Structure 1
Amino acid sequence: MIANRQIAFAARPEGRPAAETFIMREAPMPVPEAGEILCRNLWLSVDPYLRLKMHDRESYTPPLQIGETIPGRSVAEVIEARAHGFSKGDLVAVSGGWQDFAAVPAKAAKLIPLRTPHPTAYLGPLGMTGETAYAGLLQIGKPKPGETLVVSAAAGAVGGLVGQIGKVKGCRVVGIAGSQEKCRFVTEELKFDACVNYRTPDFARALKKACPNGVDIYFDNVGGPVTETVLPLVNTFARMPLCGLISQYDGQQAGDPRALAELMRWILVRRITIRGFIVYDIAPNFPDFEGEMTKWLDEGLVVSREHLSEGFDNIVPAFLGLLGGENTGKSIVRIAEPSSLL
């Protein structure tokens, strides 16, 4: 019997998760039913939203239960198909979870075209990450040429794509990141117009200098003090797509009790539109996403960096590093090679 290694949820963390939050176990190989495909995971995505699922409270997806296999997107190889349209050896993008093998409904699998040079793009710019950036910016941000777009977590997977899409749409794009090295990556490789390090003492002054005409769109991935610093700079009728609140994922931090009142004041005075969104709510509104993003990638208008870790044993360290801001770009773990390369 071939064992199926899995990483499961072991304990609800207080504050930042640690290795003890997870447990590795072995389970039998899953058996696909009619309409399913049996997949061998090759590359796994690790994503910050999983931290939200570790709280036992309401969110946009059900909380993880103790003993549950950690979910997540993957690029996998089909090793058995019990559904039309798939064959052994196909590469697919699926919700394969943190495990070696998964039986998934064929209708929920994305067949990756033959001879795709970079299959992991379906975990980044051509996958849910890209859809989040594309749909969130275009539907809620509504960018116009000449406007100023500010993006927090600009060196991350979603933020980096948001800024590049903004450049394609003619915006002046300013990133916010957590180190000078990340800021150099954002301006030199992703071609943002400017990037400001929020960890420096003069962050507020530097951000204001980088946005001489104010802020028309703020794509928020972090919340907290960074967002508080951006708010006074927003222009009348600014738009704020609210994609993430990573500064609060380990638990709500104690802060100024007047913060909410100050936020509401700016919303009223500047007539700001703020909308929280989850990608699957709005992605169906953009059927041209994959074709347009593929075109931009081919033309070099959008580039994507992957923060690649190797080996099953590095899944948890990669996730913990992501929460600690160690990644630049999309965090992916390679756990196996396609059969064609063995």
Structure 2
Amino acid sequence: MVKPGRPGARKTSKGKAVGSGGQGRQALEGRGPTPAAADRSWHPAGKRKAAAERLAAAKTRGGRPDAPRARPQKKPDDHEMVTGRNSVLEALRAKIPATTLYVAARIEMDDRVKEILNIANKRGLPVLEVMRPELDRITPFDSVHQGLALKVPPYEYAHPMELLDKVISSGQKPLFVALDGITDPRNLGAIIRSTAAFGGQGVIVPQRRSVGLTASAWKTSAGAAARTPVAMAPNLTQTLKSLKERGVFVLGLDGGGDVSLPGLALAKQPVVIVVGSEGKGLSRLVAETCDAIVSIPISASTESLNAGIAASVTLYEISKLRAAK
């Protein structure tokens, strides 16, 4: 009779126990001689040996050593989109080097659209008809394209001193606007527009911590950016000092300025107007560089003026004083 065993228990047969097979003797003898450093894969010498072998194998087969391939980086599309009928028309009239004109399908034709298409055809500019959802997708989200968009390459900034030389050689009296800490492209666009309207010859923006000429600035300028050059200063303070050495007076705008704008004595001199940010105003170094800090009289109920408006008022006053005999 077979006795029931424990569940899961294994019955072993009786017999001679299995020996160690000499394992004990091997343990006493040790692991043998230590491999050379070059034969140990984890050792620096072993890694160098493996790398040399891969290099030799690659040379033998005429290929390149096995190495991780870098992923090709996609170049960012740094083109800008100029949108809106007026802005696109002004850009084409000024012969801005555009690459593509996008036109919405079934666009409502008017004189501006007809002239845009006529200029584009004469220049051999590619014209693509797209559906409005596609035009919405490729244009800035905060823009109103009015069924038209113009793709233009990155803006080529002028050099401030070269701009000054060009103005002087043309016999004009320099009138520039420099931006100090302006980051809103709409302010830049408005200032460019005012500069063009009141006889200014250019706008200067610093290379760092400032807005550049983006599509939004193009839009706000209503095409004035096509006629008014924008120069980029590597260092705004040093550029202002260089302008001073060439006889240009630097006028900073600030609500607490000690010189009042109406009847400004320096208006008929070569000047550059420096506009600071609406929140922080002029930076310390720029303010110290200015020949005068000019304030615009405003109502006591108004705390300050927008940077674009302040520049416009100042440009208007200077142009009026220059025109007066």
Q: Same fold (TM over 0.5)?
A: no
Which structure has the bigger radius of gyration? 2
Class of the TM-score when normalised by the shorter of the 2 chains: under 0.3
The structure, 1 or 2, with the larger RCO (C-alpha pairs under 8 Å, 6+ apart) is 1
Greater strand proportion: 1
Greater helix proportion: 2
